[in-house]
Structure 1
C-alpha cells in the first residue's frame, strides 16, 4: 500500500525505484531471519518468572507498615526561611487540607524544602503527603512527599502525541506504537529479568534486538531498505555491547554510581552491577543508532535511484559523505544531552576545583564517560557498516543502452 512491498517482491518498495537482486536480498533476509530466531530464543530463555518477581517485590517496601500517601490541597504557602535548615512557625511551611486518602479532611502544616517554597507552588495546588499513623497515643503526623504534577504532564504528553500525529501522520502513529512497544519490553522483560539476576549483556541484546525488529518495520515499512537499516542497527548494537564490556573492564567501573545502586543491591540480592552497566550502555545508544542507520540506508537508496549508472564504490562514497555530516551532528547531540541532564552535577564539580585526574577517578564521571564514549564509538562504526550493507544489497551500475 503506502509503506512498501513485502520482501517477496523484487523491488524494495514502490517508492524506491530500485530493483534489488535476488542473491543479495536472500543473504540479507536470511541473516535477519537468523538474528530474529536468536532474539526469540533469548527472550524465551531469559523471560522472567512472574512468581519470582512477586516474591522479590513482596520483600521490598518503600515505607514502614501503616504509612500512607494521601493527597492534599494547598491552602497557604509560606515564604522560604531566610536561614537554611532553620524551621520557624511563619516560614518554610505549607498549610494543606487532606482531601483524598487516609485522614481525609485533616488540616496539616508541613515543612518543605526552600526550593519547593520558591517553585511557584500556590494555594489550590495539590501535594502528596506522607502520613505516619498514630502510635502510643500520638496523633497521626504528616510530612511533605511531593507535588502532584499529573495534570501538566498529561497536557504535555497530549501535545506531543497530537503534534507527532499532525506532522508525521501515519509514520508518527507507527512511531508512537513503536515507542509504546519499547516501553513494554523494558518494563515487562528487561527490568524484571535484570532484577532476577540474568546476564545484563544477554538481556540488553535480546531486548534491544526485539525492540529494533518491531520499531523499524512498523515505522518504516517492510522493505529491503528497512532490512538493510535493521542489519546495520543490529551490528551497531553488537559493537556497542562489545565496546561497553571492554571499557567497563578496563576502567574497573563498578556499575554503582549513587545510593540507588546500594539500595538495589540490598533488596534484590546478588546482582552483577558491571553486567547491568553493560546493559545500560546498549540501551542508551538505541535511539540515536536507529536514527543514523535508517538515514544511511535511505541515503544509499536515494543515491542509487538518482544515479543508476554509478558504481558501488561511488554510491558508498556518496553515502559516507552524508554519514560523516550525520555523525558530526549526532555526536554533539549525545554530548549536549548528557551535559543538560547532568548540569547541576557539572556545576558542583567545577566549584570543587579538582584536577581532571581526580574527577576521572570518581565513579559517576567514569560511568558517564564510558556510557557516552562506548555509545558514540558504536554509532560511528554503524555508519560505514550500514552504508556498506545497503551498497552491497543494491544492484550494480546500470549502463545506458544508448551509450
Structure 2
C-alpha cells in the first residue's frame, strides 16, 4: 500500500527524533495492548457438516441435444425445459473412479458453468436418496487453481521487477495485511467483539507494520503514521455519526442478510462501520505518505522555505491528489455494487425513494465518510510534516545552493551571479505585472495551477 516517495534527506535533529519516538511508541504499545484484549481466543468454529465429495476431472466430449418438452404447464409458459441439454463426458482424475470416463448432464440454470472439451472441472458425487448404493456425478464449477497461481506469480513478478527491494517489502506488507485480517479482524468480529473497535485496532496494526516495512523507519514515515492514525479515528467517528443520523441497520446487502441467518450474534451495524474503516485505510496511507514526502522534498529543494510556505506548497499537491483519489473511492464502491445499481435502475419507485432506501443510502454513506476522512488527512499530515521538517533546523545561509541530485561534485556559483539569474527569471513580463510584488516574485497565495 502507498507509493514510494523516498530519497536521501538530511538527518532529523535528535530532539525531533526523541519527540517522534515518545509519540509513536506509546501509540504502538496501546495498539498491541488493545489487540491482546480483543484477541479472538474464543472465536466460534464452523460446525462440522457432511461435505459432498468433490473430484477433479477433464472434459473430453460435449454432446448437445434438443431439450425434451415439459410436462403439463400453465398456459403461456415455455413448453420445453430451459437449456442447454445433453451430456458431458468427463475423465475423472481422482477418487474411486480415477482414470475412468463418466457422463454427466450439461450444467443448466442461472450461473451454471459453460464447459467445452479440454476444460478442467470439479465434479460432485450425489447419492440417490432412494437407493444409497447409486451415485451420480454433476459438474459443479471450473478448476481455477492454476490460473490464479499464474496470475499471482505475474502480480508478484511485476511488483519486484519494478520496485526491486521496495517491491519485495510491499509484497511482505501485503502478506502482513492479509494475515492480520484473517487472524485478528475476522475472527474477532466472529467472536462477538465490537466490530468498530476491532476494525480500528486491526487497521492500526496493519498501518504500523506496512508503512514501516515498506517505507522504512524514518521521521517521514512516522509523520505518515500519525496522520493515518488520526484520520482513521476521525473516519470512524464520522461513520458512527453518519450511520446513526441515517438510521442504517447494516442489512443493506444480501450478504449481510445471509450472514444474519447463520450468525445472529454479529452486529451488522458495527460491521458496516468496520468495512468503512478498512476500506479507507488503503487510500489514506497513500495520501499521508505522499504529503509527508512532498513536504520533505520541498524543504530539501529550498531550505529557506518557512513552515507556512511549506504547508501552503504541499497543500497544493494534496488538493491535486485528493481530486483524483475522491473519484477513485466513489468508482471503487460503484464498481463493487454494480448489480445493486442495475437492480435499482429497474425499480419503478420515485428517484427520491430509491436514493433514500437503505441499499443505496449505505453506499452513499460509505463514499461520503471515506472522502471526508481522506480530505482531513491532507491538512493534518501536511501540518505535522511541516512542523517536523522545520523543527531544529534554521534557514540555510544566503547563497547556499540546494543539495545535488547525485554524488557528482558541483561548483558553487558566486552569490552575485545567482542573484542576478534569479532576478532575471523572476521578473514578470511588462504586460502582466498585476500579480507581482515589488520584489519581482509572484504573490505567495496565488495558485500555481495552469489556467485553461
Q: Distance in 2 between matches of 1:100 and 1:330?
A: 49
Select between 21-30 and 144-153 the one with higher mean Cα deviation. Answer: 21-30
Whether the aligned pair in 1 keeps the contact of 2:113 and 2:142 (CA below 8 Å) is: no
CA distance in 2, matches of 1:317, 1:21: 23
Q: Tell me, in whole angstroms, the C-alpha distance in 1 between the residues paired with 2:326 and 2:131.
A: 61
Equivalent position to 2:338, from 333, 338, 343: 343
Deviations 1:43-98 (A, max 9, x none): 1111111xx33xx324264xxx2522222322344679899995368637644343
8 A contact 2:59–2:117 mirrored in 1: yes
In structure 2, the residue matched to 1:27 is 19
Correspondent of 1:108 among 98, 104, 108: 104
- Deviation, 1:197, is 0.4
Partners of 1:318 and 1:85 in 2: CA distance: 72
Q: Select which of 326, 333, 345 maps to 2:328.
A: 333
CA distance in 2 between counterparts of 1:240 and 1:314 reads 28
Equivalent positions of 1:181-192 (< 5 A) are 181-192=176-187
Q: 1:59 corresponds to which residue?
A: 47
Q: Which segment drifts farther, 168-177 or 338-347? A: 338-347
What secondary structure, in the 3-state scheme, does the structure 1 residue paired with 2:54 have? coil
2:206 to 187, 206, 211: 211
Paired positions, count: 381
Distance 1:381 1:347, change over 3 A: same
Larger radius of gyration: 2
Q: CA shift at 1:14, angstroms?
A: 7.7
Task: Tell me whether 1:398 sits opposite 2:411 in the alignment.
Answer: no
Residue of structure 2 equivalent to 1:8: none
Inter-CA distance 137–162: structure 2 relative to 1 (3 Å threshold): same
| Aligned mates of 2:87, 2:159 — CA distance in 1 | 41
1:271 corresponds in structure 2 to 266
Range moving further from structure 2, 170-179 or 257-266: 257-266
Aligned equivalent of 1:127, options 121, 127, 131: 121
Note closer, same or farther for the CA distance 1:327–1:117 as it changes in structure 2 (3 Å cut). Answer: same
Moved more, 280-289 or 122-131: 122-131
In structure 2, how many angstroms separate the alpha carbons of the residues matched to 1:84 and 1:292? 57
Structure 1's 324 and 203: CA in aligned 2 closer, same or farther, altered over 3 A? same
Q: Does 1:16 align with 2:17?
A: no
Name the CA distance, whole Å, in 2 between partners of 1:227 and 1:84.
Answer: 67
The answer to whether residue 37 in structure 2 is matched with residue 45 in structure 1 is: yes
Whole-angstrom CA distance in 1 between matches of 2:30 and 2:80: 60
Q: CA deviation digits over 1:317-352, x for unaligned, max 9?
A: 000000000000101111222232333332332233
CA–CA distance in 1 between the matches of 2:376 and 2:80? 55
Q: Would you say 1:72 and 2:57 are equivalent positions?
A: yes
What is the CA distance between 1:153 and its match in structure 2?
1.5
Q: 2:244 matched to 1:225?
A: no
Partner-residue secondary structure (3-state), 1:20:
coil
CA distance in 2, matches of 1:85, 1:369: 45
Q: TM-score, normalised by structure 1?
A: 0.86
| Higher share in helix | 1
2:374 paired with 1:389: no
Q: Which runs of 5+ in 1 are unaligned?
A: 1-12
CA contact (8 A) 1:67 1:133 kept: no
Distance 1:102 1:388, change over 3 A: farther
* Cα separation, 2, equivalents of 1:30 and 1:81: 76
Deviation at 1:133, TM superposition (A): 2.5
Q: Is the 8 A contact 1:209 1:234 kept in 2?
A: yes
Residue pair 1:81, 1:114 contacting (<8 A) in 2 also: no
Q: How does 1:283-322 map to 2 (within 5 A)?
A: 283-322=278-317
Deviations 1:243-270 (A, max 9, x none): 1111111111111233432332333341
**Does structure 2 retain, via aligned residues, the 8 Å contact 1:92–1:117?**
no
Q: Distance in 1 between matches of 2:15 and 2:79?
A: 73
Q: CA RMSD in A?
A: 2.7
